[in-house]
Amino acid sequence: MRTQIGSWIIVAAALFGPSAAEAGLITGQPARDLFEAAVVGAGYAKITFNNYAVNTKLTTQISGLTFKTIRDYNGSPINQPVNLASAVNRTGQIVGTPCSACTDDGRYAYEVSFGTAQRAAGIQRYWNASTVTRFFNANGVKLGEYVGSTYVGWFGVEGDASTYVKRIEIDGNVFGGARQVGYSDDLIYGLGVIPEPATASLVALGLAGLAARTRQQERAPRRA
C-alpha cells in the first residue's frame, strides 16, 4: 500500500509541480488527459455546452467568456454569435453562425475570448485534417497554431503574461472549395500550473506502470 501511495504522489507532483520553462502547444490524448486532470487538481474551468438548447446564439452568457463568429466561408470579416449546433450527432457542440436563419455547416470561423488571459486553455476540435486552431495573447500576438481535428491546448510560462491565452481562434483552411472550420466542445482553461508536453509522456508512462504493478499485485497469490 505504501508503494502505491508513493507512486501516486510522484504522478501528482509531475502533473502539478513546477511550471514549464517554455510555453507551447500540446495536442491529442495527452493534452486531453492533462487538461481534464487540471480541472480536478488545479481548479480549471470546464465548459461542455451541454446545458444549452440547439440553435442557442452564444455571445456572453458564460461569465468571463465572449463568443463570436468572425469570418464567413470566403474569409470576409463578420460579427455574429456562435451557434449551439443543430446538425445530427453534434448536440452540445458549438459552431460558427453565418446568419440568424441559417443551419450550421462548419464553414464559418469563430472565436472564444477570455475576460482575463489564461495561463492555459484547451478545446476539443471536430472536423478534418484542414481544421485550424490558433491561440493569441492579450496584445493580439499569435502564440501557437495547430492544423487538425483533435484536442488542442496551449500552456504559457507561469508569471509571464505575454504567453497567456486571451483568445482562441477557430478556423480552417480552404479545401475542396470550402473553408474547413468545423465544431468544438469541452473548453478547459485556468491559471494553475500544468506541465510541459515532455512531462505528459512521463506522466502517461508512470500511470501505465502503476496500473500494471497494481494488476500484478492483485493476481499474485496471497501468503498465509
Express each pLDDT in 105-139 by its tens digit: 999 999 999 999 999 999 999 999 999 999 999 99
Percent of the chain with pLDDT strictly greater than 70 = 77
CA-based Rg of the chain, rounded to a whole angstrom? 20
| pLDDT range class, residue 144, cuts 50, 70, 90 | very high
Give the model confidence (pLDDT) of 4-46 as tens digits: 433 333 334 344 433 445 789 999 999 999 999 999 999 999 9
What residue ranges do the domains of the chain occupy? 44-206
Q: Taking the model in full, what pTM does it have?
A: 0.80
Q: Where are the alpha helices (DSSP H) in the chain?
A: 2-16, 28-41, 197-219
Backbone angles phi, psi at 108, to 5 degrees: -110, 130
Q: Determine which of 67-76, 141-150, 194-203, 211-220 has the lowest per-residue pLDDT on average.
A: 194-203
**By the 8 A CB rule, do 134 and 171 touch?**
yes
CATH fold for the domain made of 44-206: Jelly Rolls (2.60.120)
